[in-house]
Amino acid sequence: MQATVLPARCVVYVMDAYCGWCWGFSARIVEFEAANRHRVPFTAISGGLFTGQRARPISAYPHIPEANARIARLTGAHFGEAYQRVLEEGRLVMNSSDAGAALAALRDLAPQKTIHWTRQLQEAFYERGQSLSEPATIGGIAAAEGFDAAEVLRRLQDGSALGQAASDFALARQLGASTYPTLLFADGHKVQSLPATGTALEVLNERLDALLA
């Protein structure tokens, strides 16, 4: 397993593609990265919300519909009709190891698009109701952006992306991220928290200004 290495100075988005609150924050983190990518690199790592015995069918988490309603109310996030059908059927297994491998494979393909990849993965699930354990879902995301889907599939199939996901999970724990989304500013060995869900772009920009000063 290759250790996940962060840039010396960067904004780190710790998320899980199956996390509804991350979906609620996804539009804002895309805006934040777009406004500041010229000043500091952004990256994302998976935290591992549904792994091991927690990787279960979505019906095993009956609180989700109520949580989704709250997320939509507080953030304006949209939950698509296809996702709602998946939620009602209850059979899709949320496996964050697979979702983390998907992010790792896409991130390796185009690191500069990492924040974009997090949004694309969540759109696949929360808008289109697609499983992030299906290689075709991940290959389709890559192909839609003009990348070689076969290269992404190779990384998923040979286990390298899964190993990288495990490294991401370990780094998230090392950084102290236990809930998602967690937004951090890393500067060498110093790591500071940034506000996340519900935070206005202006507030995020001001906080980053102070950290970069």
- Percent of the chain scoring above 90 in pLDDT: 95
Mean pLDDT of the chain: 96
* Mean pLDDT, range 112-133, rounded to an integer: 98
In the chain, where the domains are located: 9-212
CATH class of the 9-212 domain in this structure: alpha beta
* Mean pLDDT, range 6-29, rounded to an integer: 96
Contacts of residue 118, defined as CB under 8 A and 6 or more positions apart, other chains included, come to: 13, 15, 17, 22, 26, 29, 44, 103
DSSP secondary structure letter of residue 93:
B
User: What pLDDT shows up at residue 189?
Assistant: 87
* Mean pLDDT, range 4-12, rounded to an integer: 91
Question: The tokens 């060498």 sit on which residue?
Answer: 188
- Rounded to the nearest 5 degrees, what angle is found at the Cα of 125, between the Cα atoms of 119 and 126? 80
Q: Tell which wins on pLDDT, 2 or 177.
A: 177
User: What pLDDT shows up at residue 8?
Assistant: 87
- Judge contact between 165 and 32, C-beta under 8 A: no
Question: CA-to-CA distance for 161 and 6, rounded, in angstroms?
Answer: 17
User: What pLDDT shows up at residue 49?
Assistant: 98
Question: CA-to-CA distance for 81 and 125, rounded, in angstroms?
Answer: 11
Q: Which two tokens stand for residue 160?
A: 């390298």
User: What pLDDT shows up at residue 5?
Assistant: 84
* Mean pLDDT, range 142-146, rounded to an integer: 96
**Banded model confidence at residue 160, pLDDT cuts 50, 70, 90:** very high
Q: Is the pLDDT of residue 1 over 80?
A: no
Has this prediction a pTM greater than 0.85? yes
User: What pLDDT shows up at residue 176?
Assistant: 95
